[in-house]
Amino acid sequence: MTTVIEPIPAGPGGPGSGPASSDAGDLSTVTTVGWKLTLREFMSNKLAVAGVAILVFFIAFCFLGPLVYHTNQIDTDLLNTNQAPSGSNPLGTDTNGFDVLGRLMLGGQTSLEIGFIAAVIATIIGTLWGAVAGLIGGLIDAALMRVVDILLSIPFLLVVLIVAHRYGSNIWNLSLILGVFSWLVPARLVRGEVLTLRVRDFVSAARTMGGSRTHLIFRHLIPNAMGTVIVNITFQIADAILALAALGYLNFGVHYPDTDWGSQISDAQDALSNGYWWLVFPVGAALVLVVMAFNLIGDGLRDAVDVRLRKR
């Protein structure tokens, strides 16, 4: 957020060259353990903490909520469709007579699960791809990165729609589809990290001692690129949740009896002109809040990781 004009340190990140001035408040403490610094910096970022709070709330709401708030989300209740919010249905009922609050929890479970699994799949593929390309270099690097260029040029939504149309419909398949087509950004990021890491002394040392490429990748390169990877994974989850919402909105989301937030909005679209606002806006608000929470956490983590690299 803030761009501070800093005196240029001699060799950014070089051992022992950290700026010893400015940020007076932090000087007294001598913690240099990376993750502690990161955590403290992260916790001092109010927006990021708010993001965590929103996320914890929604995870509890979606996964623990149904344990307390029992609703029937299997059988339609056609005598009680489109009921306005009332005592028995705090957020009303939808076009099939399902309780909207309970539906929101069910849809949230799907959206969060798919977002998380898809992001993990994408990150694993992307990290390996980028690390191999960056470490080996040369023709193989060029070939691997051209593949990334090609896939990046095909609009993501179109590809995912085509595949999801045939193989989608349940949580695992949709996670796999979203994950398999969204590893391009982490691949580029990790390759960039590896390109700067592989010329560093500790990597050369490991190589001189006879470390194999696999050893270099898993023991030295990926662990050191982890900061970037973890920051990216939060954005990746946000994007996956948005992509799933788009799929659901176009009617290519999970199938009955499951639901996801995008499908709920899609089912409710016509309800708007009938004045049934409770079918659209609670779901929409939940979706936006969760995506926002992940974006806030990602921004906070990025700043925190940056600080760690700067002060170490």
Partner 1 sequence: MAGYLIKRLATAIVVVFGITLVTFLMLHIVAPSPGQTVLGPKASQAAIRAYNHANGFDRPWYEQFGTYLNHVLHGNFGWSYKTNQSVNAIFAEKAPLSAFLSGVSLIVAVAIAMPLGIYQAVKRNSIGDITATTLAFVLYSMPVFMVALLMIQVFALSLGWVDPNVSQDQSLSGALNDWKDLILPIAALATTAVASYSRYQRSSSLDVLAQDFIKVARAKGLSNRLVYSRHLIRNASLPMITLIGLSLPALIAGNVLIEYAFNINGLGLLFVNSLQNDDYNVLLGYTLLTAVLTVVGNLIADLALTVSDPRIRLV
Q: Can you say whether the dihedral through the CA atoms of 270, 274, 276, 281 is positive or negative?
A: positive
Residue from 150, 200, 212, 256 in contact with partner 1 (CB under 8 A) = 150
Which residue in 39, 136, 151, 206 binds partner 1 (CB under 8 A)? Answer: 151
Q: How far is the CB of 281 from partner 1 (least distance, A)?
A: 8
Binding residues for partner 1 restricted to 269-288, rule: CB under 8 A:
269, 272-273, 277, 280-281, 284, 287-288
Asked if 205 touches partner 1 (CB under 8 A), the answer is no
Told to check if 114 binds partner 1 by CB under 8 A, we report: no
| Among positions 120, 136, 147, 206, the unique one binding partner 1 when judged by CB under 8 A | 147
* CA–CA separation, 222 and 83 (whole Å): 53
Contacting partner 1 (CB under 8 A), which of 50, 144, 159, 309? 159
Stretch that binds partner 1, among 66-74, 91-99, 102-110, 154-162 (CB under 8 A): 154-162
> For residues 228-257, which are near partner 1 according to CB under 8 A?
238, 242, 245-246, 249-252
**Number of amino acids touching partner 1 (CB under 8 A):** 44
Q: Is the CB of 98 or the CB of 276 nearer to partner 1? A: 276
The 3-state secondary structure of the chain reads CCCCCCCCCCCCCCCCCCCCCCCHHHHCCCCCCHHHHHHHHHHCCHHHHHHHHHHHHHHHHHHHHHHHCCCCCCCCCHHHCCCCCCCCCCCCECCCCCEHHHHHHHHHHHHHHHHHHHHHHHHHHHHHHHHHHHHHCHHHHHHHHHHHHHHHHCCHHHHHHHHHHHHCCCHHHHHHHHHHCCCHHHHHHHHHHHHHHCCCHHHHHHHHCCCCHHHHHHHHHHHHHHHHHHHHHHHHHHHHHHHHHHHHHCCCCCCCCCCCHHHHHHHHHHHHHHCCHHHCHHHHHHHHHHHHHHHHHHHHHHHHHHHHHHHC
84 binds partner 1 per the rule CB under 8 A? no
Note whether 146 binds partner 1 by CB under 8 A: yes
CB of 219 to partner 1, least distance (A): 33
Q: Pick between residue 188 and residue 198 the one whose CB is nearest to partner 1.
A: 188
CB of 131 to partner 1, least distance (A): 22
CB of 56 to partner 1, least distance (A): 17
User: Is residue 54 at the binding interface for partner 1, with CB under 8 A as the rule?
Assistant: no
Bridge partners of 93? 99
Nearest residue (CB) to partner 1, 222 versus 254: 254
User: By the criterion CB under 8 A, which residues form the site for partner 1?
Assistant: 3, 5, 146-147, 149-159, 161-163, 165-167, 238, 242, 245-246, 249-252, 262, 265, 269, 272-273, 277, 280-281, 284, 287-288, 291-292, 295-296
